[in-house]
Structure formats: structure tokens, C-alpha cells
Amino acid sequence: MNNLSKDITELCLDAANLKAEYRSVIAENTRLKSEVEFLRSLLGQSIDRLASEKDCKKCSMKLHSNAISNLPSCNDCGKQKYCASRPQLGEWARINCMHWQKGEE
């Protein structure tokens, strides 16, 4: 009987140790789940920020393009026919030229 009581005692201790390990694994699992959720939220925020920066770059490029296209050029200059700085056929028109004059309307 003495051996049987030792075996039962060892089994009870093993069961108690397993139960404690199980609880620690569950606690660790819960902690890891919360960390994963936190990292997912950070990733989502980073993706949103990158998307908004990309949209912002597109927007700033469009604003820059609009600003350039609204500057006076050789195409709407009043001195277009007799200006020495005017571009020849196939050349780029000058933008914001210092010789630009308002044309007749």
C-alpha cells in the first residue's frame, strides 16, 4: 500500500504541475494574442498612413502641374509674332518668360 500511496501522491503532484503549466500557457497565449492584435492595428495604421501619403503626393503633383499650366507662356504672349525669345517649331514654349506681355483681347 505504501507504494500505491506514493504513486498516487506523485500523480497528484504531476497533475498539479500540469495544471499550473496549462494556466501559464493559457496566460502566455492570451498575452501573445493581445500583442498580435496590437501589431495588426499598427500595421493597419501604417498602411492607412502610406495610402494617404501616396494620395498626398498625387495631390501635390496635380497642384504643381496646375500651377505650372496657369503660368503665362509663349502660347498666350502678346509679342508672340515678333519676340526674339519665342520658340521655333518643335521647341518647348517658355513658361513665365520675362518678355511676356499681355495680348490683345
pLDDT in tens, 52-65: 777 777 777 777 88
Local confidence band at 21 (pLDDT 50, 70, 90 cut-offs): very high
- Quick one: average pLDDT of 46-57? 75
What's the pTM value of the predicted model, to 2 decimals?
0.40
Q: Residue 53 and residue 7: Cα distance in Å, rounded?
A: 67
| In the predicted structure, residue 43 carries a pLDDT above the cut 80 | yes
Question: Domain limits of the chain?
Answer: 2-70, 72-105
Give the 3-state secondary structure of residue 51.
Answer: helix
> In this structure, are residues 103 and 76 in contact, taking their beta carbons and an 8 Å threshold?
yes
| In the predicted structure, residue 24 carries a pLDDT above the cut 60 | yes
